[in-house]
Amino acid sequence: MTDSLRILLVDDHPVVRAGLRALLASHDGLDVVAEASSGEEALELVATERPDVVLMDLRLGAGMDGAQATEAIAARPSPPRVVVLTTYDTDSDILRAVEAGAAGYLLKDSDPQVLVDAVWAASRGETVLNPDVAQRLYRQIRSPRVDLSARESQIVQLVAQGLSNRAIAKELFVTEATVKSHLVHAFSKLGVDSRTAAVAAARERGLIV
């Protein structure tokens, strides 16, 4: 009989950790050896518990976030495989996690069996991605990177909040012509021709919230 797969859960919500522990404990060969509520705690437990797989949330409150913790874990000698399990699926979140060294990226609304299979697959060295996440990642890699300036992002964010050009100009203490100029540049970079499309494209790329 082979040893059980050792798993570390990293999530700042105790209820989520309890649910994941119960799910994984119901499957033979999966052993949750520790839980962490922060990225810093996760790093300590990786060193002491030596898990095979880490299930990592992206948003962990104050301090180190999931992508930063993943990068630090991946830099260790013989690191465990990290599978991101989160509710966030913006292009920027996905790309950050993959670039940090995550072996997988799943959403918390995934089918339980998909999660269990992903844990086993990651332990074998495979990459596991939610289908929608995989499509987004592929599109992000294929598409040229879009970088709005700080001011352009700020103005598109205000557009997303429903402000008119006049209101944005008043908010930022600039002229309406300046606002329009920044929007024209943002439209061009995003490949859109309307305020609504600009907001949608910027959100999809994780450039605004």
The CATH number for 124's domain is: 3.40.50.2300
Summarize the confidence of residues 146-175 as an average pLDDT. Answer: 93
**pTM tops 0.75, yes or no:** no
Segment 29-40, tens digit of pLDDT: 999 999 999 999
Q: Using the predicted structure, report yes or no on whether residue 98 has a pLDDT greater than 90.
A: no
Which stretches does DSSP call E strand in the chain?
5-10, 30-36, 53-56, 81-86, 104-107, 128-129
Q: Using the predicted structure, report yes or no on whether residue 51 has a pLDDT greater than 90.
A: yes
Is the residue at 209 inside a domain? no
Summarize the confidence of residues 21-30 as an average pLDDT. Answer: 94
Domain count, the chain: 2
Q: Which of 98, 114, 142 is the last residue of a domain?
A: 142
Residues 156 and 179 in one domain: yes
* pLDDT confidence tier of residue 80, bands split at 50, 70 and 90: very high
Chain Cα centroid distance, residue 158: 24
Enclosing domain of residue 62: 5-142
Segment 189-201, tens digit of pLDDT: 888 899 999 999 8
Residues 102 and 56 in one domain: yes
First to last CA, the chain: 49
